[in-house]
Structure formats: C-alpha cells, structure tokens
Amino acid sequence: MTTQRETWDVLKVLNWTKGYLAEKGVENPRLEAEWMLCEALSLDRVGLYLNFDKPLSDAELASYRGLVARRGKREPLQYILGTQEFMGLDYRVTPAVLIPRHDTAVLVTEAIMRAAQVRSILDIGTGSGCVAIALAKALPEVEVSTVDVSPEAIEVARGNAERNEARVIFFKGSLFEPVAGREFDMIVSNPPYIPAGDIAGLQQEVRGFEPVGALDGGADGLDFYRSITSQASGHLNPGGWLLFEVGAGQAPQVLGLLKHYGFTEETFTQTDPAGIERVVGGRLAKS
C-alpha cells in the first residue's frame, strides 16, 4: 500500500495558519496569513484568490513556514515582509527603524498646511524617513533635512528616499548636534514619547521588536520635547515653526513647553482620526 502524501493547497494553508496565528494572539490572522503567503508565492492578493486550489511545493511550504513562525513569535508583519505604506508611498522597514504609523500623517499634513512661506525644514528623528520624505515629496521647493542618532536608521531612510525619488539631506547625530550653526524655517519631530515605565506593558510586537531608542521618552515621556523645544529657537529663523507629534494626553504639557520657550504665535493642536490630540505646534514671534 502506498501512503498518500498530504497535499497543502493555498486554501488549506490559509485556514491552518489562521487558527495558528489566532492562538498566538495575532489580531488579523487570516489577512496576515494571506499577505505572508503572497510573499512566499510571489503572488498579489488577486493571484492568491485565483489559486486557492494550487498545491504548494516543498520549497514554497518551507519558505512560508519560516514567515509564519516569525509572526507566531509576534514579530511585526511589516518587519517580516520588510515594507510599510505611508501616505501613498512604500517604505522599506527593518528592526532598526520604527514602523511608520498612519497617525503620523497628521504631523505631515499640518506641516504642509503651514509651509507657504517655508523654504527649509528640519525633521528630528528620521527613523524610516517617512516624515522627511513625505514632506520633500509634497513640497519640492523646500529643502528638507533630517537627523537621526542611529546610523542604521539613516541607511534605511536613505534607501527609502532613493526608492521614492525624494530629495532629503541626511545628518547623523543627536538632535541639533549635527546641524550646529544652521537655521531653518520649520522644525518637525515625532520623537520617542512613551514613558519608560510603560514600555514593558506595550504589545509584544512593539516592546519585543521595535527599536527602544525610537520609543523611550524618559520617565514621563517628555524628555525629547523638553530638549528640542529648549534648543529650537537657536536653529530657527524669525517666525519659525515648531511642530510635534505627541502621545495620547501629552498635548497640554507640550503646548505649555512651546509657549514657555517663545512659541507663542499661532499655536494649535490637531486631533488624529481617533479624536486624540496628536499634533502640537506654534511659531516664534517675528521680531
């Protein structure tokens, strides 16, 4: 008697993975299984749907299993697939950079709305480069510079700028250190803002895999807002803007910091689609 080898077709593989990932606490197990199978089979989602009864080869199964095992350990899907979309552009992401969040589009949009007279922008904390690149694409006349302390992040972001044909100037170093003596018309930043003591309570995808240097904002989460705001006026032209993304509940304190350090003009806060105050900004007086 011959034993029939079990065949795993696309649909069967998806159903199995859905159960497995759900058990591991993954929130959208079926959808994520589809994305990983697309990757392993080099198909798009339509292609996948047209091939539900296609049996997987041993090599395809092996490569897919590798991806599923990583996701089962709660590694973010974006690091496994190596990609994340932000404001219509595709970004390569590695564990050296924070995965771009859609909420950050509020920072970019608010900056663009105030950029009519702006000729130069500095983005502090490059990460994947998503903020600087989105600004450079939207404002081709503006010189966009960005600084990050992590050489690995700069490398990822440079690749993203090239891939998306964005003109961005990169500086390696801490906060204003590499731009000493330079002045800009606008400074934007989505700095690390999680209170250090809250990091252990974040979901495993974040606390286990995203760079802690991109998350940890010190004891109360506000360390970077204090450092940046206290130094910003020395790197801005008269009337210069300072815009921040902030964590939930941080807007009033960050707005207070801005006012304290001279950003008293046209101050504002803006909510994200969930209704959370997500962006805070203001500008220096002209004289």
Determine, following the binding rule CB under 6 A, whether residue 254 of this chain makes contact with ligand GLN.
no
Determine, following the binding rule CB under 6 A, whether residue 192 of this chain makes contact with ligand GLN.
yes
Q: Is the dihedral of CA 88, 151, 229, 278 positive or negative?
A: positive
Q: How far is CA 108 from CA 115, 159, 186, 198, in A?
A: 11, 20, 12, 26
Give the interface segment with ligand GLN, choosing from 109-117, 159-167, 189-197, 257-265 (CB under 6 A): 189-197
Determine, following the binding rule CB under 6 A, whether residue 251 of this chain makes contact with ligand GLN.
no
Which residue in the block uniquely carries the two structure tokens 């159903």? 15
Which residue in the block uniquely carries the two structure tokens 């700028």? 161
Nearest CA among 66, 169, 69, 172 for reference residue 122? 169
Pattern 92-111, ligand GLN, x by CB under 6 A: ------x-x---x-------
Pattern 208-227, ligand GLN, x by CB under 6 A: ------x-------------
| DSSP-based three-state secondary structure for 57 | coil
Determine, following the binding rule CB under 6 A, whether residue 145 of this chain makes contact with ligand GLN.
no
Determine, following the binding rule CB under 6 A, whether residue 131 of this chain makes contact with ligand GLN.
yes
- For 58-96, the DSSP string reads HHHHHHHHHHHHHHHTT--HHHHHTEEEETTEEEE--TT
Which residue number is nearest to ligand GLN in terms of Cβ? 127
**Choice between 127 and 240, CB closer to ligand GLN:** 127
**Choice between 17 and 120, CB closer to ligand GLN:** 120
Q: Which residues bind ligand GLN (CB under 6 A)?
A: 98, 100, 104, 125-128, 130-131, 190-192, 214
